[in-house]
Amino acid sequence: MKRLENKTAIITGAATGIGEATAHVFAEQGAVTVLADVNKDKLDQVVNEIKNNGGQAVAYEVDVSDENSVKAFADQIKEAYQTVDVLFNNAGVDQQGGKVHEYPIELFDRIIAVDLRGTFLMSKFIIPLMLDNGGSIINNGSMSGHAADLDRSGYNAAKGGIINFTKATAIDYARNGIRVNSISPGTIETPLVDELVGSKQEKMGEAFREANKWITPLGRLGDPREMATVALFLASDDSSYVTGEDIKADGGILAYTWPGKMLIEQDEWKKDTE
């Protein structure tokens, strides 16, 4: 039997990156995948791909930062499915903003609204559809929620908030049979990374990926499907006694305190990644 057979799973930010990969993985494992994103055209493409591969999927245009949009979506889901088994709060945005005193207030508000408030709103309006039968909520945190990045205080604040919000929600609903966990990805090959640092074909993007070969102990960026399989574990009954946890899937970056020897002996260290 497939691991998500007969389960209804909502995935936000499902048009690209980790969300898209998770939609495919969940569908392969038998879930009815309910895909939400602001990019409806790209979302429809993902739905068609899933259906062509024999899976079940439906697309909804949703702005997770907007209360009315999320509430209307939840009402539609209740009417169509009555209950929900899995919610993956994956939608998020990121952008460098400069030092705190230079950081644009509108950018800080936007990142908090989509990443943190969006996670709250989706949880608030979808949890009632889990209360009778239980379920699993997975929130997309980040290694940037555990440690800080230069010029990205808004993203750090949002992701740190998501990780602790996960714990609070897990405590609130444990006795209702609702498990709540988060994933903290490292740097993953997604369109968001291309926007932040450039694609593989661009000079800056190439330099960024080359640097990650020695910064990351596993010697590479992660693949979206690798994050999707972590989400699958948390969505499935394989993690039935896991709640309030954060799984770091960062290639080992947060496992060390400082990259001293890697910097001093970087030629030798980098050889192991080639």
Residues 90, 14: Cα–Cα separation, whole Å: 8
* 79 within 8 A of 100, measured Cβ to Cβ: no
* 154 within 8 A of 111, measured Cβ to Cβ: yes
Q: How far is CA 230 from the centre of its chain?
A: 10
Q: How far is CA 61 from the centre of its chain?
A: 18
Residues 27, 56: Cα–Cα separation, whole Å: 6
37 closest CA partner among 82, 113, 89:
89
- Tokens 């990443």 -> residue: 115
Given the residues 81, 155, 241, 256, select the one marked as catalytic: 155
224 Cβ neighbours under 8 A, 6+ residues apart: 17, 18, 20, 21, 22, 188, 189, 190
- Based on the residue annotation, tell me whether 60 is a catalytic residue of this protein: no
Q: Where in the sequence numbering do the catalytic residues fall?
A: 155
